[in-house]
Amino acid sequence: MKAMSTNNENPQKASRPFDLNRDGFIMGEGSGVLVIESLEHAQARGAHIYCELAGYAATCDAFHITQPDPEGKGATRAMRAAGNRVDYAELPGGQKALTAVIQEAYIQGVSTRSVDDLVKAMGAGGIAGVLSLIGGLLLLHRRLFDSRIRKTSSFADIGILAIIVLQLILGIGTIFVSAQHLDGHEMTKFMTWTQKIVTFRAGAAEEIADVALIFKLHMFLGLTIFVLFPFTRLVHMLSAPIRYVLRPGYQIVRSRRRHPAE
């Protein structure tokens, strides 16, 4: 079958089915018993119910004796037969659990049911983005054209606000591109890219090499804001008004309004 691991020199790391450098499985000993019974029978004998099996599906793509079809056809048929609702997927022990195959099968077989959710998310995000853009433009206008505020504003104050406004414009622009990829395929690329960035894994750039330019600009500007914010007024978002709550007294401010003499 040629499915066994050849990492005999390092047996502690030979079994790694989900590792990037996996090379097969190892033989082992063990057994388990799965008891499936009707809900009424389990309740009648007072058994602890771990889960409910609402349905299942199983297929065999007959592509290779150990390897799955590179297009995920078998997994796709199984997921569709399961009613497009998958809570658990069993990966055969003789197969290398190829991440790309599982992702493609999930996209083609399951995520189509989430088109309405994606449209709702884009709609809600678009509304929030437009409102934020209006607020950002108002703030930027005050910074630039209100002489009093302009005089007390530094280059960093104006610059970071301009970058945020540009980021909002790019973010709204990505909605129109995302509307052309409602199958979720592009989303999985960003998910994998994020995972590799957070876990400091190599190859993150390759995951998004073929995405639209507006996505790349949006991500680059977002990371730029992340780098710059400690040196701007944005750093105050990490502060909390503890001193204000615990202040010993109140400040009395004289009003400029004239009150009629009593």
Sequence-separated (6 or more) residues with CB below 8 Å from residue 33: none
Under a CB-based contact definition with an 8 Å cutoff, are residues 116 and 130 in contact? Answer: no
- pLDDT tens sequence across 190-208: 888 888 888 888 888 888 9
Predicted pLDDT of residue 100: 53
Q: Which of 83, 89, 90, 88 is nearest to 113 (CA)?
A: 83
CA dist 163 and 150 (Å) reads 17
Show the DSSP H helices in the chain as ranges.
39-44, 73-81, 99-109, 115-145, 147-151, 155-178, 185-198, 204-207, 213-228, 242-245
pLDDT tens for the chain, 262 residues long, are 667 788 888 877 787 777 767 777 787 777 888 888 998 999 999 988 888 887 778 888 777 776 777 666 777 777 777 765 666 666 554 444 455 556 655 555 555 555 667 778 888 889 999 999 999 999 999 999 999 889 988 999 999 999 999 999 999 999 998 888 776 677 778 888 888 888 888 888 888 999 999 999 999 999 999 999 888 888 888 877 777 777 776 666 666 666 665 5
111, with CB counted inside 10 A (0-12, 13-18, 19+), is buried
